[in-house]
Amino acid sequence: MGERRPLLANGSVVGSYKPLYRYWELARRRGAEEVAITGEDLEAVRRAVESRGRVSLLELREELVRRFLPRVDPEMAREAYESLGWRMTGAEARRKIAEILAGWALEAAKNLNIVSLRGWRLPPT
């Protein structure tokens, strides 16, 4: 059986959701918010595509990362990665979690036919 994935995720953009699941575990233990994609995030993807037509996947992902960054706690993100054997600063870990969330939003948008992703591949992170 494959790795766990959140609702509407298919792994086509995000290689591993393990850090996000660890982040959620830490958030639950601390009574903090479990950051996730929302209908508003998917609507932002739809608006970006409708207003500009063809959009670079990297540009769209970066817009989403900026949208998610304020929602991610850097210390919990750092601890989530540390529990997986990765050492990084809180700022680096926060960005990585935001990148996972952005990728999840793109996968969900693709699965809901909000966007069509053709002939693309994100560089590994």
Domain range summary for the chain, segments of one domain joined by +: 18-111
Q: What is the pLDDT of residues 48-69, one digit of tens each?
A: 999 988 888 899 999 999 999 9
At 56 the pLDDT is: 87
Q: What's the token pair of residue 81?
A: 């990665």
Model confidence at 121: pLDDT above 60:
no
Dump pLDDT digits (tens) for 13-25. 999 999 999 999 9
CA distance 40 to 75: 26
Model pLDDT for residues 70-116, shown as the tens digit of each residue: 999 999 999 999 999 999 999 999 999 999 999 999 999 999 999 88
Sign of CA dihedral 108, 101, 25, 38: negative
What pLDDT shows up at residue 54?
A: 82
* Residues 3-15, mean pLDDT to the nearest whole number: 94
Residue 3 — pLDDT band, cuts 50, 70, 90? Answer: confident
